[in-house]
Structure 1
Amino acid sequence: MIELLAAMTTLSLGVGQEVVAGENDAGAERAGSGPDAVVYDGSAGQLEVPGPMVADADITIDGEIDEDAWANAPVLTGFTQFDPVEGVPATQRTEARVLLTDDAIYFAVTAWDDVKDGVRATLGDRDSFGRSDDYVRFIIDTFNDHRRGYVIMVNPLGVQQDGLWVVGGGGDRRRRWGPPIDWNPDFVWDSSGRIFDGGYTVEVKVPFKSIRFPKVPLQDWGLQIERRIARNGYGESWAPVTANVANQMEQFGTLTGLQELNPGLFLEVNPVQTFSKQGAYDHGAGAFQREGIDGDFGMNVTYGITSNLTLDGTYNPDFSQVEADAGQIRVNERFALFLREKRPFFLEGTEIFQLPQQLVYTRSIVNPVVGAKLQGKIGSFNAGYLGALDDVADPGNPDENTHAVVNLFRLRRDLGSTSNAGMVYTDRTYGPDRFNRVLGVDGRFQLNQRYTVTLLAAGSRAAHGSAESLNGGLLSAQVARSGRNFQFEVGGHDISNDFEAGSGFLRRTGIAQMQSRVSYNFRGRPGDFIERWGPSLEAEGLWTHDDFWARQRPQESSMQVGGSVSFRGNITVWGNYSRSYYRFERDSYYSLASRSAGGVRRAFFPDQSLFQGLSSGTIFFWVNSFDRVRGNVRLTRSESPLFDFISDAPVDVADSWSGDASLNLFPTTNLSAEVGVRHTSLLRQRDGSLYSRATIPRLRAQYQFNRALYLRTIVEYGSQRRGALLTPTGGDQVEYCSSGSCFDLKGSESNDFSFETLLSYEPTPGTVFFMGYTRRMEDMQAFRFRDVRPEAEGLFVKLSYRFRG
């Protein structure tokens, strides 16, 4: 193993040299401008840069801006701040340079910093640094359509992070923060960075083979360059931006007059070989059984038909889930848990399928044998197709040996400068009388720069082996206002009882939901202790589909008031208080009964006043002030209904205490760790007895030998206990009855303990070596570690290489 690590470390030197602070400051000293260099001051509105084309750049990507080509390259400077204060001069000086050849675009940035040791940089694996490090971000709008751009990010040590800026999608939309970036795609590009005593320099090369652009002889590209200073959370950009414009891409600068760009022949072949050895505890035999070594081969092929149209094919795509899904608390969860896609074939180029409601969920393709994907843009039309043969049984006929044929199609047309309209079609077929099909139309319209209207209408048809098919419909609409200070959004959706999205993910059907939110931000002046603060108000109502159209009262409703404060030094505090109301009709309980201690069974219908005016309060602290230690804490106290998961009706009320805490540690440049815990407990209001408790501590530690090679270990313990459902008055057992028989709604308990370790070598996306081991154990008593029984284990190896022509 020692020899293997040494060899990989040596092989990785070409990935980009990393230098600690103070070791080399020559890059900054030699970053001067030649006599022909033209300066473009973003703060002065100098945002159109004539295409800086050169025949041969002869640039080595090593973080030192010392080649002759850089001396006469255009200099992009005059950065202004956009976060937390808009429009004021940048706190630190930044200069960027850009060059293009016929097959690549090059960037070089010198980022000065007048605070000694103020630059934050962690040597980590790809896509790992996020908000923890200083970084420079390039956003390249190759179609100059203000709708989609390539995001290229690099930290001061050259560590890469990339994605797609997708207007109207991407980002963490549910929590309403962060830019609209889809972080799933991985592109092939080169980068390097060096830290010197007064800041850092980075160099980047993005081959045209890695990006799509129009097939025309003359074109313009949109461009934005941003810098993030991690210690104070400041964001600064070359092209000034304001939140008063909903689409930030409209405010980008432009590279003009780009001629004869040529990606050349684009063909990638990516064979993948995996080996695994599994083991599991055989409860019948009372012993742990290990299987033999299992090998699996797959392959991905990508062909660039043109510079703006790409065809992908896959055979037996690798799941590539080298890190297990983090534990989720399930003791009082009413609906299915959402798990993110992690398979490379289904991650890249599928952003076109993003919709206001998730009608396309690629993880519904469980075990694909083969798949194909076509994506691109021609003129004002974006098109995407995804097809697969899924080796999975029909849920309605699990005993039959069938395959699902999946076809997903999306077409979207640009309208005006920032709006669009489109359609989506999904088809999942097991046989002529067993299928699910969805057809939808959607649009996103921007009005007066501030306002955005989003619409979606879809219909489904499903057959499950009978002559009669089920037809359903879905409607969704939202209106939102963007602004530096005042924002609001109001919207809702209605899903009929028989609507099915066999290729999508919808937590509930047969419901209608309306939501609204309004907020206002007060902003301080530069240097103020309080940089930003503001209140917010939210309201929500939920009906059954039939009640909504019959204009009945909502089944569930809530009102929430909240507020947030951002302090100087990258500290944020926010909190909220809400009141919730639940109203369920008697027919929602038709399948529930109560059984007394004497065995007397009665129909069960709780007093609905129990579920009126339930309160909840949350407070959250986020601290990113310190170089070596950062973290966050959330605490929630609420009155929570206890639901029967089958009928989805509330049975009782509990006092809930929940929270989570996460501590991020950076002892050295190479070593990082995350220590976290999630906890929730529910106590019955009737007598204070415990209904459920869940605690999930998790430790994730990683040592990065260089940018390509790391060793990671994850330890997680999940203790989850749920009691029986009892009536809120006498404490009788609640039963579920169906077809003349009843059974108790009993509790459950699990104490899972898992350990994972992974050695990963990935010099470029698609070229990887993984070797990992995982073991899951069951503790007979929570956190006792006295009678621990192994439940499953696995050893796996993955080898793949990305051949590029």
Structure 2
Amino acid sequence: MLVSKPHALIAALLLCAPFAQAQQAPVPAQAAHSLPAGRIPQLQGEIAIDGKLDDAAWQGALVQEIAYDIQPGDNTPAPVKTTVRVGYTPDALYLAFHALDPDPSAIRAHLRDRDAMFSDDWVGVFLDTFNDNRRGYELIVNPLGVQADLIRDETNTENQEDESWDGLWSSAGQITAEGYDVEIRIPFSTLRFPHTADDQRWGISLFRNWPRDKRHQLTSHKVPRESNCFQCEWGKYDGFAGAQQGRNLEIVPTLTMSKVQTRDAAGEKWQDGDSSIEPGVDVSWTPSPAMTLNATLNPDFSQVETDELQLDINNSFALFYQEKRPFFLEGADYFTTPFSVLYTRQIADPDFGLRITGRSGGSAYGAFVARDATTQLLVPGVQGSGFEHLEQKADVVVGRYRYDISNDFSLGAIGTFRKGDDYANNLAGVDGRWRKGGHTVTAQLLHSQSEYPDDIAEIYADELGSDPSPAGNAWRTAYNFSNRNWNIDAWHEDIDPGFRADLGFIGMVGYDKSLVGGQRMWYRDGKSFERISLYADWDITHRFDGRLLERELEAQVGVNGPMQSFMRLHGMTRVAYWNGRMFDEHYADINANFRPNGNWQLGAYVQAGTLIDRDADKTGHRTMIELYGNASIGRGIATDWDIIRQQMKRDGGTAFTATVANIGGSWQFNPRQRLRLTLQGSSVKRDLSLYPDPVEERARDWAAQMVYSYKINPRTALYAGASYGAFMDDDHPDMFGSTRSVFLKLSYGWQP
């Protein structure tokens, strides 16, 4: 029997919020004298954010210095001097950076889109507003005032920094004869923090990136190399009494217009496809500094720029693409767990969405509901997966709760629920994390129950059976030890054949896998090659019936050197099961990249070895070459490229040759205006005589997209663009244009 209680889970999450908030105790004001970092004062007077540090109010600020080089140095004195002034008013946090440089002409600064200037010189502030070493904000600015902001999640070992969050804050910068200056204003309405009228204690790191021959990372505090928690090392500051968040309401109406035309063969007339004018509205309300409510009606869930093209050849599992839609990106870190049980691109075409996220005391919680106009499934298997669609609407409910019992121990729960006309998938589970010193242990247990139409249940019947009501468990436990010189990993995961996470990205089920591995690091401070690492691991995978699927041993050595260079030599050998047989596979590869100056990055990846050609059930000698990099021309023009070519030789011939290219360029006229051009293409050619079963002999496609954007801030923006695509295959031997479209997107952020 299928049981679903999503509403009970949401109610439990909402009830936890006020209880947790009641446990929050303010920081005693008398504790400030024991803090080495100091107290942040309230400023008196006005400050204009113009990059000029001449406002009188700065004289009352706390003065700090970014004094330590933590990479590549080992808490050595910073090679350049940076002073920072910090203060606040009742509605905002203010910072002023005075960054000196012995050679201002060497400063790396470019006009870029938001979150795209990490290779430049920059300064920033990292904020742990709950002082719990769990979740933090990173706000950084380059010398021209270009912004980037990220959410830091210390509990997520796979992706600790998420740049999808976009806060509303202001900054300005200017290059001077001594270096550069930056001013920052962060409204308290942009941040989440405990609700109290008294002093608060925040963890704060003041940071400077100084990229020259090496990329120097400079901080206001020491960071021991043996530490496996960067956020735990941030300085502790008192202050912010009386901080106010204002009315905390934002309304963002949107309007999206598009026109699409298609044709099925060369020479045919273009046929009008989808043409739409879609209004929508997003509402964000923060009833307390620690809680946010979001609602969206007829949302624009389109993404402005195309996904990076991937080569889907000799691969049996579905490809993963990053989420780019704003509603799902904001607060995404609240739903992170060891298993990928929430992949929001599975919610393909929602009519509406409601979400709550918040933190208070030891609690962090998030939940959302949505109505999806279609139902997209990632149908998993033991040795392959693929996407399928059901022509029916679906209701979606997701809830996540985590409680930090102490600084070292936390427990959490998650549930994902989706239901259509003759379809349902319900998943619930618990997880935990313990960390002490260099030791970290994580674990998660999940259970799912599902109902599918018969045609979906039959897709992987040979591997998993055709049960229309599968149910099963998934569990994972992992141990990590990390210190200055060592990093040790050991983990095991087990997923039943009947387990399904239809709102997640788990493409393989019906197996168990174990891994043990370790890395040794050597630091050579002051040398050209300042870091050397050696890594190796061994893993083994079995099918649910005990059949060996894979046994693998791999090792690699990596070196960090001059010109911000990195080189890695890697090798792998394994036995792998495919289509009823065991195969031996082995390969070696080398990956290297470097920055010859501040305007270029060049990289190459080369791989060669014996691998399975899955369409022929044979092994062959495969080579792969990838060339990638980026270049800057002047302040505002940038190009980037990634070109991959694969070739498989066997049985005296070339079984296939495949190429994929992603090439782009942008012209940033000023911090608000940008023109972006993207070109993508792929080509596959096979020798039909080397395949026992019919395969496609030739396929080519290419696409181009141009987008102009004018962004006053992340909420108020205009996008206008056009795209064109062409392809050929065995049924269409001539290359011809098959799709073309234009679109216009407008949004306006209004705060009443």
TM-score relative to the length of structure 2:
0.89
Aligned counterparts of 1:399 and 1:774: Cα–Cα separation in 2:
25
Deviation at 1:452, TM superposition (A): 0.8
Query: SS where residue 617 of structure 2 aligns?
Result: strand
Contact 2:260/2:273 (CA < 8 Å) preserved in 1?
Answer: yes
Match of 2:727 among 778, 792, 798: 778
Q: Equivalent residue for 2:644?
A: 678
Please report how far the alpha carbon of residue 292 of structure 1 lies from its aligned counterpart in structure 2 after TM superposition. Answer: 7.3
Find out whether 1:224 has 2:223 as its counterpart.
no
Distance 1:393 1:615, change over 3 A: closer
What's the counterpart of residue 619 of structure 2?
653
Q: Does 1:568 align with 2:562?
A: yes
In structure 2, the residue matched to 1:203 is 183
- Distance in 1, matches of 2:587 and 2:309, equals 24
1:9 aligned partner: none
The one-letter code of the counterpart of 2:633 is P
| AA aligned opposite 2:647 | S
Deviations 1:728-786 (A, max 9, x none): xxx672xxxxxxxxxx35235321121111110011001110010000012579xxxx9
**Counterpart code for 1:107:** L
Partner-residue secondary structure (3-state), 1:512: strand
Q: Report what 1:238 is aligned to.
A: 220
Preserved contact between residue 602 and residue 629 of structure 2 (Cα < 8 Å): yes
2:42 alignment partner, one of 53, 64, 69 = 53
CA distance, structure 2, for counterparts of residue 78 and residue 204 of structure 1: 16
The answer to whether the 8 A contact 2:571-2:587 is kept is: yes
Alignment CA distance shift 1:722-1:363 (3 Å):
farther
1:625 partner letter: P
Supply the distance in 2 between the matched residues of 1:766 and 1:162 (Cα, whole angstroms).
15
Q: Are 1:581 and 2:575 matched, yes or no?
A: yes
Answer yes or no: is the 8 Å Cα contact 2:428–2:448 preserved in 1.
Answer: yes
Matched with 1:27 is none
Aligned to 1:430: 420
In the alignment, the residues of structure 1 paired with residue 104 and residue 334 of structure 2 have an alpha-carbon distance, to the nearest angstrom, of: 44
How far apart, CA to CA, are the structure 1 residues paired with 2:725 and 2:478?
44
1:592-671 matches, cutoff 5 A: 608=582, 611-612=583-584, 614-644=585-615, 651-671=617-637
The residue that corresponds to 1:177 in the other structure is none
**Structure 1 unmatched runs, 5+:** 1-44, 174-179, 590-605, 645-649, 734-743
Distance 2:443 2:500 in 1: 19
Q: Aligned partners of 2:428, 2:662: CA distance in 1, in Å?
A: 42
Relative to structure 1, the CA distance from residue 398 to residue 347 in structure 2 (aligned partners, 3 Å threshold; closer, same or farther) is closer
Contact 2:343 2:503 in 1 (8 A): yes
Partner of 1:77: 65
Letter in 2 for 1:486: W
Task: Indicate if the aligned counterparts of 2:662 and 2:681 stay in contact, CA closer than 8 A.
Answer: yes
Q: Deviations over 1:206-257 (max 9, x none)?
A: 1011111111122211100111112221111111112312211111111214
In the other structure, the counterpart of 1:524 is 524
Residues 753 and 779, structure 1, Cα contact 8 Å, conserved in 2: no
Show the counterpart of 1:596. Answer: none
User: Does structure 2 conserve the Cα–Cα contact (< 8 Å) formed by 1:474 and 1:499?
Assistant: yes
Aligned residues: 696
Question: Is the 1:85–1:523 contact (alpha carbons within 8 Å) kept by the matching residues of 2?
Answer: no
Say yes or no: does 1:383 pair with 2:378: no
Kept in 2: contact 1:394–1:430 (CA 8 A): no
Contact 1:671 1:703 in 2 (8 A): yes
SS at match of 2:545: helix
1:795 and 2:742 are equivalent in the alignment: yes
Matches within 5 A, 1:175-194: 180-194=160-174
Per the alignment, do residues 419 and 398 of structure 1 end up closer, same or farther by CA in structure 2, a change over 3 Å counting?
A: closer
* Deviations 1:327-366 (CA, angstroms, capped at 9, x unpaired): 1011111200001111100000121111111001111101
One-letter amino acid of the structure 2 residue matched with residue 182 of structure 1: D
Query: Which residue of the other structure, out of 294, 298, 312, is the alignment partner of 1:330?
Result: 312
1:398 CA displacement: 9.2
Supply the distance in 2 between the matched residues of 1:732 and 1:674 (Cα, whole angstroms). 37
Following superposition, the deviation at residue 402 of structure 1 comes to 2.9
Letter in 2 for 1:412: R
User: Are the counterparts in 2 of residues 573 and 619 from structure 1 also a CA contact under 8 Å?
Assistant: yes
Segment of structure 1 superposing worse, 650-659 or 232-241: 650-659
> Structure 1 residue aligned with 2:698, among 749, 758, 766?
749
What's the Cα RMSD here? 2.3
Q: Match for residue 258 of structure 1?
A: 240
Answer yes or no: is 1:708 the counterpart of 2:672. yes
Q: Secondary structure at the match of 1:342?
A: coil
| Matching of residue 411 in structure 1 with residue 401 in structure 2 | yes
Letter in 2 for 1:85: G
Match of 1:402 among 372, 378, 392: 392
Alignment of 1:116-195 (within 5 A): 116-130=104-118, 132-169=119-156, 173=159, 180-195=160-175
**Distance change in 2, residues 1:52/1:434 (3 Å):** same
| Partner residue of 1:363 out of 342, 345, 356 | 345
After TM superposition, give the deviation of residue 73 of structure 1 in Å. 1.2
> Is it true that 1:274 corresponds to 2:273 in the alignment?
no
Find the aligned partners of 2:426 and 2:604 in 1 and give their Cα distance: 44
3-state SS of the aligned residue for 2:328? helix
- Deviation of 1:517 after TM superposition, in Å, equals 2.2
User: 1:112 touches 1:199 (CA, 8 Å); kept in 2?
Assistant: yes
Relative to structure 1, the CA distance from residue 683 to residue 398 in structure 2 (aligned partners, 3 Å threshold; closer, same or farther) is closer
Cα distance in structure 2, aligned partners of 1:102 and 1:721: 65
Aligned position for 2:103: 115
Please tell me whether the aligned partners of residues 558 and 569 of structure 2 are also in contact (alpha carbons under 8 angstroms): yes
Match of 1:176 in 2: none
Are 1:85 and 1:524, in contact at CA under 8 Å, matched by a contact in 2? no
Q: Residue type matched to 2:566 in 1?
A: T
Is the CA contact 1:146–1:418 (under 8 Å) kept in the aligned structure 2? Answer: no
Q: 1:698 & 1:732 partners in 2: Cα distance?
A: 29
Specify the alignment match of 1:443 in structure 2: 432
**Can you list the C-alpha shifts for 1:515-562, whole angstroms capped at 9, x where unaligned?**
222111111122x11111121112222111231xxxx6x321111111
Taking the aligned partners of 1:766 and 1:617, their CA distance within structure 2 comes to: 47
Residue aligning to 2:13: none
Residues 285/429 of structure 1: CA separation in 2 closer, same or farther (3 Å cut) = farther
For 1:284-323, list aligned pairs within 5 A.
286-291=268-273, 293-323=275-305
CA distance 1:260–1:571, change in 2 (3 Å): same
The 1:285/1:666 distance shift into structure 2, 3 A limit, reads closer
* Partner AA of 2:180 in structure 1: Y
Please say if residues 158 and 191 of structure 1, whose CA atoms lie closer than 8 Å, have aligned partners that are also in contact: yes
Q: Which runs of 4+ in 1 moved over 4 A?
A: 393-401, 465-468
- Offset of residue 112 of structure 1: 1.0
Equivalent pair of 2:252/2:281 in contact (CA under 8 Å): yes
> Does the Cα contact within 8 Å between 2:323 and 2:345 map onto a contact in 1?
yes
Report the alpha carbon displacement of residue 502 of structure 1 after superposing the two structures with TM.
1.2
Counterpart pick for 1:763 among 709, 712, 720 = 712
Instruction: Give the 3-state SS of the residue equivalent to 1:624 in structure 2.
Output: strand
Structure-2 change in CA distance of 1:710 and 1:215 (3 Å): same
Q: State the match for 1:105 in structure 2.
A: 93
CA-CA distance at 1:791 after TM superposition: 0.8
Question: Do the aligned partners of 1:471 and 1:499 also contact (CA within 8 Å) in 2?
Answer: yes
The separation in 2 between residues aligned to 1:640 and 1:624, in whole angstroms, is 33
Q: Is the 8 A contact 1:350 1:384 kept in 2?
A: no
| Percent identity of paired positions between Structure 1 and Structure 2 | 27
Matches within 5 A, 1:340-351: 340-351=322-333
- Cα distance in 2 for partners of 1:404, 1:499 equals 20
Report the 3-state secondary structure (helix = DSSP H, G, I; strand = E; otherwise coil) of the residue aligned with 2:404. strand
Q: CA deviation at 1:286?
A: 3.4
**Cα distance in 1 for residues equivalent to 2:426 and 2:513:** 24
Q: Distance in 2 between matches of 1:282 and 1:679?
A: 29
What amino acid does structure 2 have at the position aligned with 1:364?
Q
Decide whether aligned partners of structure 1 residues 556 and 562 sit closer, same or farther in structure 2, where only a CA change above 3 A counts.
same
Q: TM-score, normalised by structure 1?
A: 0.83
Change (3 A) 1:714 1:468: closer
Secondary structure in 2 matching 1:345: helix
